[in-house]
Structure 1
Amino acid sequence: MNLMRQKEEDLIQATRRAMELEACLRKAEMESESWQRLARANEAMVMDLSNTLEQVKERIVLISNRAEDSESVCCDSCDDDNREQELKEERRKLACKRCNSRNSCVLLLPCRHLCSCKQCEAFLVSCPVCNSAKVASMEVFWF
C-alpha cells in the first residue's frame, strides 16, 4: 500500500513536470516564431535598402553620363551653365539636410531617407525630411 502511494506521488510529480515542460516548449516555439518573423522583416528591409542603394547608384551614373553627353553635344558656354546647374542640383539633393555642407551618408530607419552626414546623425531624433522618429541609422558607403 505504501509502495502504491509513493508510485502515485511519483506519477503526479511526473505529470506536473511533463506539463511544465510542455508549457516551456510552447513558449520556446512562440519565441522561435517571433524571431523568424523578425528575421524575415529584417531580410525584407535589407533587400529594400539594397534596391534603393542600387537605384541611387544608377541615378548618379545616369547624371554623370548625362553631363558627359551634354558636353559632347552642346557648346562650351551653355554646357558649363547646364552642367553647373545640374551639379548644384545634385549636390543639393545629396547634401545633409541638417548642415547642408557635407554629403549625406547616413540612412535613417524606419523611413529610409538618406538625408544626414555622419557628424549630424548623432544629433537627430527625427528625420529632417519626413519628421518620423529615428529608430536606428545606417551608414552608407559609396563605391
Structure 2
Amino acid sequence: MRVKCLREKEAEIEKATRRHAELEARAAQIETEARAWQMRAAAREVEATSLQAQLQQAVVIAHGGGIITTAEPQSGSVDGVDEAEDAESAYVDPDRYEIIEPRCRICRRRSATVLALPCRHLVLCKECDGSVRICPLCLSTKNSGVEVFYS
C-alpha cells in the first residue's frame, strides 16, 4: 500500500514537472511574441508620428497657418441650419481667423498632444495620458501613446 502511494506521488511529481516545463516553454514563446509586437508597435508609432506631422503640415499649408474658424458666429442660420451654402457664403476673411488646437478629451484644459495607439486618435494631453487605458473617442483599448510635437 505504501509503495503504491509512493508511486502515485512520484507520478504526480513527474506530471507536474512536465507541466512546468511546458508552461516555461509557453512563457518563453509568449515573451518572444510580446517583443515582436512591441517592435511592431514602435514602428507604427513612428509611422503615426510621421503621418500626424504630414497632416499638420498639410493643414498649415492649406489654411495659411492653422485650422480656420470664423471669430463670429455666422448669421442666416435658422434652427442651427445654414441657409446659404454657396461659395460666397463659405468665404473666410484671412484677416479674421483663429488657430484652434485640439483639446484633451479628459481634462479639456490642455492641448491634445498624445496620439492614442492603436486607434491613432489625437485626444489626450501628456498629463492625462498615463491615467487613461481606453481611447475616450472610440472606446478601444489604448496600448500606448505617442507624444506629438508641432513645428
Which residue in 1 is equivalent to 2:51? 51
- The 1-side partners of 2:50 and 2:107 are apart by 26
Which residue in 2 is equivalent to 1:99? 107
Q: What is the aligned-residue RMSD (CA, Å)?
A: 3.6
Give the TM-score normalised by structure 1: 0.51
- The 2-side partners of 1:60 and 1:96 are apart by 21
Evaluate the alpha carbon distance shift between residue 96 and residue 66 of structure 1 in structure 2; reply closer, same or farther with a 3 A threshold: closer
Which residue in 1 is equivalent to 2:93? 70
Evaluate the alpha carbon distance shift between residue 103 and residue 43 of structure 1 in structure 2; reply closer, same or farther with a 3 A threshold: same
8 Å Cα contact 2:117/2:143 also seen in 1: yes
8 Å Cα contact 1:49/1:112 also seen in 2: no
Deviation per CA, 1:95-115: give whole Å up to 9, x if none: 111111110111111111111
Listed as ranges, the gaps of 5+ residues in structure 1 are: 1-30, 73-78
- The 1-side partners of 2:150 and 2:109 are apart by 18
- The 2-side partners of 1:65 and 1:132 are apart by 30
Which residue in 1 is equivalent to 2:23? none
Deviation per CA, 1:32-73: give whole Å up to 9, x if none: xx95xx55x754553344123211232144236898x7235x
Evaluate the alpha carbon distance shift between residue 123 and residue 48 of structure 1 in structure 2; reply closer, same or farther with a 3 A threshold: closer
Structure 1 residues 17-96: aligned runs within 5 Å? 35=36, 42-43=42-43, 46-61=46-61, 62=63, 63=66, 70-71=93-94, 79=96, 83=97, 87=99, 90-91=100-101, 94-96=102-104
Residue 123 of structure 1, CA deviation: 1.3
Evaluate the alpha carbon distance shift between residue 60 and residue 129 of structure 1 in structure 2; reply closer, same or farther with a 3 A threshold: farther
Greater fraction helix:
1
Evaluate the alpha carbon distance shift between residue 129 and residue 104 of structure 1 in structure 2; reply closer, same or farther with a 3 A threshold: same
Which residue in 1 is equivalent to 2:14? none
Aligned length in residues: 97
- The 2-side partners of 1:43 and 1:119 are apart by 24
- The 1-side partners of 2:68 and 2:106 are apart by 29
- The 1-side partners of 2:150 and 2:54 are apart by 10
4+ runs deviating over 2 angstroms? 41-49, 63-67
Of 69, 89, 112, which residue of structure 1 is paired with 2:120? 112
Give the TM-score normalised by structure 2: 0.49
8 Å Cα contact 2:49/2:146 also seen in 1: no
Which residue in 1 is equivalent to 2:132? 124
